[in-house]
């Protein structure tokens, strides 16, 4: 493979070829491309492989390091198992979009400079939106639009920050920094939006559960974990991240406890788990960064496994609410067992991957003498068992008998779940396999009798709390307000109020209000789109099916403007 | 395994009672185990006898109560955002 060629290009080529390919050729592409990518990932040696000139910049499309290979490995593995899970059910354009999305994540992993990173970053934003849209419902279309707007906003912030850094330092190198000036703060904000950090966490639980049962498996893996990688590369030891991470950890638990939609519970728990990683990046020691990387690796596996089990349940029953499910263990034993393995892993139960990776982060906090952080992370570990470890499998597969007797998973979905369930246990029993791939060498004993006993006490008594408090956790068919209330409810209400005032008022004030209403209505209709518009009607700009061309055009315009400004 | 009168063995009251006994025994064992196994505390308190058990239980209790209280403020019907659209259409 040429040195300048990123392994991401294999996935991208596969994404382009999936559409025209038919039958067995398509299956071979879907299953073969991620494996070929995985092989290519391990052919990338350490260091910058090649440089290309773009305008006056030295572009480094491929830079290898243990950390980058680790993330690219799990992204490629995820694409393979996700492809195996999805290929018989998902439509070709969902698979193609998911593979282009995975290509973006792998591209970011190897990006040696900020411009390459940004391009792959936007590729992810673009095609993850398409994956959300592949949910195929009016709700998924609307959620996809909200998702796209937020991610484009994050992209713009990232771009502004990168350009500022380029102007002030003249360098496009990816080097560790702290958010001490406007430029680096913008880069940090752009990355944190993708990590689902506060105050803009709502997009994740809004969009992911509206995708198809197969789409959500891909979505759960790439965006947030690429953000974690970017944070490790750019902001290790940024103190702000400790607080941000702790907030995410608690936010995820509380919102998941209130939730009824099974994939929304899992979506909130992504925020919770990414919070652990963000906090670890904030702690910033070698052990903590190893913990963030290892936890991201393990998290992708068990979270995809949980989303797969939820996907199978939705595929087989057509239902997605705790209040409508229950008792499925009787006819879906394999899905139940795989779900329980994923649930135990996310709860960091001993002998699962969660235990061997999350404990690195707690240990790092302990070694740094951060008592509050350590105790909050420990409390959060108990909370994870509560909301994801027991609540999710309990309400879906046990609790009362819903009377549903669906068939178990089809063979390909079962195989995908079994592969990831086996990995959860393997990495729990043989953590040294994963530890050997981590960016920094470390002497760490994952298991000691005292540590296992402590975690068993913590988790099993959380379990006791769950069953004793069950009456308090009775599911209600509700949603929980989040920050997105501002633009989903308050903004339209304000526009409506403005409209009524404008109609009533006469004179200059009335004319001003009418003008303002015109501007806002134009913006809302033209850019936000109208999610409830019937298919035959004209849709808003982002609701039309032309995102690739438009974005390419905008990139071209932005680059041209940049060249112009540069030479003036 | 499945009996028409009694349902799946895991759903029978006798089984559930037995599971509660087993669970209680395991809980007791994890706490009493600390008599023979040393649990290293990084900040003194976390090495206390039964700290993990009490801390885990109380954390969960607090989180559930906090979520319950927050739910009063934040919970809305599932079609909350669609209602808005319907009102706009009307």
Cβ–Cβ gap A386/B88 under 8 Å: no
Cβ–Cβ gap B78/A478 under 8 Å: yes
Q: Is 80 exceeded by the pLDDT of residue A568? A: no
A409 touches A312 (CB < 8 A): yes
Q: Which residues in chain B (66-85) have CB-CB distances under 8 A to chain A?
A: 66-68, 70-71, 73-78, 80-81, 84-85
Q: Is 90 exceeded by the pLDDT of residue A207? A: yes
| A267 contact partners, CB below 8 Å, separation of at least 6 | A204, A205, A208, A209, A220
Same domain, A426 and A518: no
Same domain, A162 and A271: no
Q: In the structure, what pLDDT confidence band is assigned to residue B3 with cuts at 50, 70 and 90?
A: very low
Does B13 contact A at CB distance below 8 Å? no
Integer Cα distance of A246 and A277 in angstroms: 10
Same domain, B26 and B45: no
SS3 at position A47: strand
- Contact residues on chain B for A378, CB-CB shorter than 8 A: 46, 55, 59
Give me the pLDDT at residue A519, please.
79
Q: In the structure, what pLDDT confidence band is assigned to residue A503 with cuts at 50, 70 and 90?
A: confident
Give the residue-averaged pLDDT of A414-443: 96
Number of compact structural domains in chain B? 2
User: Is residue B23 included in any domain, yes or no?
Assistant: yes
Does B49 contact A at CB distance below 8 Å? no
Give me the pLDDT at residue A374, please.
95
Give the residue-averaged pLDDT of A410-431: 96
Write the secondary structure of A305-363 as one string of H (helix), E (strand) and C (coil).
Answer: HHHHHHHHHHHHHCCCEHHHCCCHHHCCHHHHHHHHHHHHHHCCCCCCHHHHHHHHHHH
Distance between A521 CA and the closest CA of chain B, angstroms? 13
Same domain, B19 and B46: no
Same domain, A180 and A210: yes
Q: Read off the DSSP letter of residue B85.
A: H
Give me the pLDDT at residue A567, please.
57
Among the residue ranges A63-72, A247-256, A259-268, A552-561, the one predicted with the least confidence is A552-561
Q: Note down the domain range covering A558.
A: 490-567
Maximum Cα–Cα distance across chain B: 71
Counting residues of chain A whose pLDDT is more than 90, the rounded percentage is 70
Of B89 and A413, which is predicted with more confidence? A413
Task: Single out the residue in A483, A503, A524 at which a domain terminates.
Answer: A483
Q: Note down the domain range covering B64.
A: 41-76
Nearest to B30 among A327, A382, A453 (CB): A453
Integer Cα distance of A458 and A470 in angstroms: 18
Same domain, A219 and A264: no
Does B30 contact A at CB distance below 8 Å? yes
Same domain, A279 and A174: no
Same domain, B45 and B68: yes
Same domain, B54 and B27: no
Does B50 contact A at CB distance below 8 Å? yes
- Contact residues on chain A for B66, CB-CB shorter than 8 A: 254
Same domain, A386 and A426: yes
Q: In the structure, what pLDDT confidence band is assigned to residue A497 with cuts at 50, 70 and 90?
A: confident
Q: Which long-range contacts (CB under 8 A, 24 or more apart) does A166-170 make?
A: A166/A57, A166/A114
Integer Cα distance of A463 and A470 in angstroms: 11
Q: What is the pLDDT of residues B54-70, one digit of tens each?
A: 999 999 999 999 999 99
Q: For B48, which residue in chain A has the nearest alpha carbon?
A: A454
Same domain, B9 and B32: yes
Q: Is 50 exceeded by the pLDDT of residue A537? A: no
User: Is residue B20 included in any domain, yes or no?
Assistant: yes
| A85 contact partners, CB below 8 Å, separation of at least 6 | A214, A217, A308, A311, A412, A413, A416, A417
Same domain, B47 and B70: yes
Q: What ipTM describes this predicted complex?
A: 0.89
Cβ–Cβ gap A461/B67 under 8 Å: no
Same domain, B48 and B29: no
Q: What is the pLDDT of residues A144-195, one digit of tens each?
A: 999 999 999 999 999 999 999 999 998 899 999 999 899 999 999 999 999 9
Does A260 contact B at CB distance below 8 Å? yes
- Contact residues on chain A for B60, CB-CB shorter than 8 A: 382-383, 386, 461-462, 465-466, 469
Q: In the structure, what pLDDT confidence band is assigned to residue A509 with cuts at 50, 70 and 90?
A: confident
Give me the pLDDT at residue A51, please.
87
Does A521 contact B at CB distance below 8 Å? no
- Contact residues on chain B for A259, CB-CB shorter than 8 A: none
Give me the pLDDT at residue A563, please.
66
Same domain, A322 and A230: no
Number of compact structural domains in chain A? 3
- Contact residues on chain B for A461, CB-CB shorter than 8 A: 27, 52-54, 56-57, 60
Strands in A431-502 per DSSP E: 478-480
Task: Single out the residue in A193, A218, A234 at which a domain terminates.
Answer: A234
Half-sphere CA count of B80, side-chain side, radius 13 A: 16
Query: Six-digit token pair at A549?
Result: 């061309």
Q: Is 80 exceeded by the pLDDT of residue A559? A: no
Does A463 contact B at CB distance below 8 Å? yes
User: Is residue B9 included in any domain, yes or no?
Assistant: yes
Same domain, A478 and A494: no
Integer Cα distance of A121 and A125 in angstroms: 7
Same domain, A406 and A527: no
Q: Is 70 exceeded by the pLDDT of residue A27? A: yes
Q: Which residues in chain A (299-328) have CB-CB distances under 8 A to chain B?
A: 327
Q: In the structure, what pLDDT confidence band is assigned to residue A65 with cuts at 50, 70 and 90?
A: very high
Count of other CB atoms within 10 angstroms of residue A502:
18
Count of other CB atoms within 10 angstroms of residue B52:
26
Half-sphere CA count of A289, side-chain side, radius 13 A: 24
Q: Is 50 exceeded by the pLDDT of residue B15? A: yes
Q: Is 90 exceeded by the pLDDT of residue A426? A: yes
Same domain, A475 and A353: yes
Q: For B43, which residue in chain A has the nearest alpha carbon?
A: A371
Give me the pLDDT at residue A403, please.
83
- Average pLDDT, whole number, for chain A? 90
Does A133 contact B at CB distance below 8 Å? no
Give me the pLDDT at residue A73, please.
97
Same domain, A382 and A477: yes
Same domain, A479 and A522: no
Same domain, B52 and B69: yes
Does B43 contact A at CB distance below 8 Å? yes
Q: In the structure, what pLDDT confidence band is assigned to residue A531 with cuts at 50, 70 and 90?
A: very low
Nearest to A465 among B30, B57, B85 (CB): B57
Maximum Cα–Cα distance across chain A: 80
Give me the pLDDT at residue A532, please.
44
Phi and psi at A234, nearest 5°, equal -105, -30
Give the residue-averaged pLDDT of B1-19: 72
Task: Single out the residue in A234, A261, A280 at which a domain terminates.
Answer: A234
Integer Cα distance of A122 and A5 in angstroms: 19
∠ CA A9-A547-A267 to the nearest 5 degrees? 75
Give me the pLDDT at residue A304, please.
97
Q: Is 90 exceeded by the pLDDT of residue A495? A: no
Q: In the structure, what pLDDT confidence band is assigned to residue B89 with cuts at 50, 70 and 90?
A: low
Same domain, B47 and B30: no
Same domain, B32 and B50: no
Residue to test with chain B: of A362, A454, A489, most B Cβ within 10 A: A454
Same domain, B33 and B3: yes
């Amino acid at each position: 493979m040429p040195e300048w060629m990123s392994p991401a290009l294999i996935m991208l080529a596969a994404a382009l070829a999936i559409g025209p390919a038919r039958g067995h050729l398509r299956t071979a592409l879907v299953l073969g491309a991620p494996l070929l990518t995985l092989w290519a990932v391990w052919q990338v040696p350490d260091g910058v492989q090649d440089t290309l000139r773009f305008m006056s910049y030295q572009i480094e499309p491929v830079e290898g390091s243990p950390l980058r290979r680790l993330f690219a490995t799990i992204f490629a593995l995820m694409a393979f198992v996700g492809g195996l899970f999805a290929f018989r059910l998902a439509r070709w354009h969902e698979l193609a979009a998911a593979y282009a999305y995975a290509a973006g994540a792998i591209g970011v992993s190897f990006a040696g400079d900020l411009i390459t990173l940004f391009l792959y970053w936007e590729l992810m934003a673009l095609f993850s939106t398409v994956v959300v849209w592949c949910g195929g419902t009016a709700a998924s279309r609307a959620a996809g639009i909200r998702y796209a707007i937020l991610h484009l906003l994050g992209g713009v912030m990232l771009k502004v920050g990168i350009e500022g850094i380029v102007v002030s330092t003249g360098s496009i190198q990816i080097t560790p920094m702290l958010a001490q000036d406007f430029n680096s703060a913008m880069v940090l904000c752009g990355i944190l939006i993708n990590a689902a950090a506060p105050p803009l966490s709502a997009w994740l639980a809004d969009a992911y559960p509206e995708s198809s049962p197969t789409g959500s498996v891909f979505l759960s893996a790439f965006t947030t974990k690429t953000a974690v990688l970017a944070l490790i590369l750019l902001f290790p030891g940024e103190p702000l991240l400790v607080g941000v991470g702790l907030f995410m950890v608690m936010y995820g638990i509380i919102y998941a406890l209130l939730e009824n939609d099974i994939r929304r519970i899992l979506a909130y728990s992504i925020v919770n788990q990414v919070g652990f990683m963000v906090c670890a990046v904030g702690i910033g020691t070698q052990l903590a960064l190893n913990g963030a990387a290892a936890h991201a690796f393990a998290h992708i596996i068990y979270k995809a496994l949980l989303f797969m089990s939820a996907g199978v349940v939705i595929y087989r029953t057509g239902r997605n609410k705790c209040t409508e499910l229950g008792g499925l263990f009787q006819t879906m034993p394999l899905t139940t067992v795989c779900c329980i393995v994923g649930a135990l892993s996310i709860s960091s139960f001993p002998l699962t991957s969660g235990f061997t990776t999350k404990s690195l982060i707690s240990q790092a906090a302990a070694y740094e003498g951060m008592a509050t952080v350590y105790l909050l992370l420990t409390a959060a570990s108990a909370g994870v068992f509560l909301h994801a470890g027991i609540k999710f499998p309990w309400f879906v597969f046990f609790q009362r008998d819903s009377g549903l007797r669906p068939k178990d998973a089809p063979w390909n979905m079962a195989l995908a779940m079994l592969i990831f369930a086996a990995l959860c246990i393997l990495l729990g029993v043989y953590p040294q396999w994963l530890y050997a791939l981590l960016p920094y060498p470390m002497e760490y004993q994952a298991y000691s009798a005292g540590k296992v006993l402590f975690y068993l006490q913590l988790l099993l008594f959380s379990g006791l709390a769950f069953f004793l408090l069950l009456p308090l956790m009775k599911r209600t068919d509700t949603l929980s307000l989040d920050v997105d209330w501002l633009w989903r409810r308050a903004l339209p209400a304000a526009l409506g109020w403005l409209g009524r005032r404008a109609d009533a008022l006469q004179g200059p004030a009335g004319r001003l209000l009418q003008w303002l209403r015109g501007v806002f209505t134009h913006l809302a209709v033209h850019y936000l789109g109208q999610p409830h518009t019937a298919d035959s009607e004209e849709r808003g700009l982002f609701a039309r099916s032309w995102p690739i061309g438009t974005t390419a055009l905008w990139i071209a315009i932005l680059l041209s403007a940049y060249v112009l400004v540069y030479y003036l | 395994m499945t009996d028409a009168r009694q349902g799946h063995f895991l759903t029978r009251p006798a089984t559930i009672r037995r599971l509660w006994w087993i669970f209680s025994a395991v809980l007791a064992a994890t706490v009493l185990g600390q008599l023979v196994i040393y649990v290293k505390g990084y900040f003194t308190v976390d090495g206390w006898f039964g700290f993990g058990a009490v801390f885990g239980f109380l954390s969960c209790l607090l989180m559930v109560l906090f979520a319950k209280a927050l739910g009063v403020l934040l919970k809305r019907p599932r079609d909350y955002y669609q209602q808005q659209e319907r009102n706009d259409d009307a």
